[in-house]
Amino acid sequence: MSPSALSAAVTCPSSCPPARPVPAFPPLRVGRGGYRLRRALRRRRRAAAAAMAVLAAALAVGGTEAQASRGGGPPEVKPPPAVERTVSAPVRIADAATVRLLRPGDRVDVVAAERTGPPRVVAAGARVVEMPSSEGDTGDGGALVVLSVPRDTARVLVGTGAVTRLAVTLC
C-alpha cells in the first residue's frame, strides 16, 4: 500500500496535520555493550577471588612457618584446672537465729570472732549442705550447720570452731 493510498483510506479531521513518511535510518543494535561490561566484571571478580584464596593460603602456611623459625612451636595445650574435692564439715555457729535464715544451697562466709584480735574470714563462699535439727542440743548455744568446703578449709574451720565463736554472712 502506498502512502497516498493509506492517507485516502484513513480519514482525518481537518485539525490533524498531514501524514509524512518515516525517514530512512540504519538499524540500531541494542544490548551488545552491556554483555561486554558484564563479562569484564565477571573476569575481575574471578581474579580477585583467586588472589584472595592465594593470600589466605600464604598466610595460613606462613603463620606456622614464621612461628617455627622464631623457635616457638605450636601453643601448648593447658590441662583443665583440677577440680578441688569438697568435704562436708559440721560447724557450730554462735547465733542460732542467723542459722535459721539459711537454706541448703546458700553460699556463706564463715567469720571467726576472736576476743583479742580483729575478726577474720575462715571460709569464703562455703555452700550450706544441711542444718541438722537441734534435738538433743548440748547446751553450748548456737546452732549446727553442715558446710561443703575444700579439705584444707574444713581442717581450719574445725580447729577454729573449737577455740573461737563462729558467725556466718550470706554471700
User: In terms of domains, do 68 and 102 share one?
Assistant: no
At residue 13 the predicted structure's pLDDT band, cuts being 50, 70 and 90, is confident
Same domain, 117 and 47: no
Cα–Cα distance, 40 to 52 (Å, whole number)? 19
Provide the domain count of the chain.
Answer: 2
Asked whether 145 and 167 are in contact (CB, 8 A), the reply is no
Confirm if 7 and 19 have CB atoms less than 8 A apart. Answer: yes
- Residue 45: give the domain boundaries: 33-73
Global pTM reads 0.50
pLDDT tens digits, residue range 128-159? Answer: 999 887 765 555 678 999 999 999 999 999 89
Element (H or E) spanning 41, and its range? helix 32-69
What integer best gives the mean pLDDT of the chain? 81
The pLDDT value given to residue 73: 61
Question: Does some domain include residue 79?
Answer: no
Q: Which residue has the higher pLDDT, 10 or 124?
A: 124
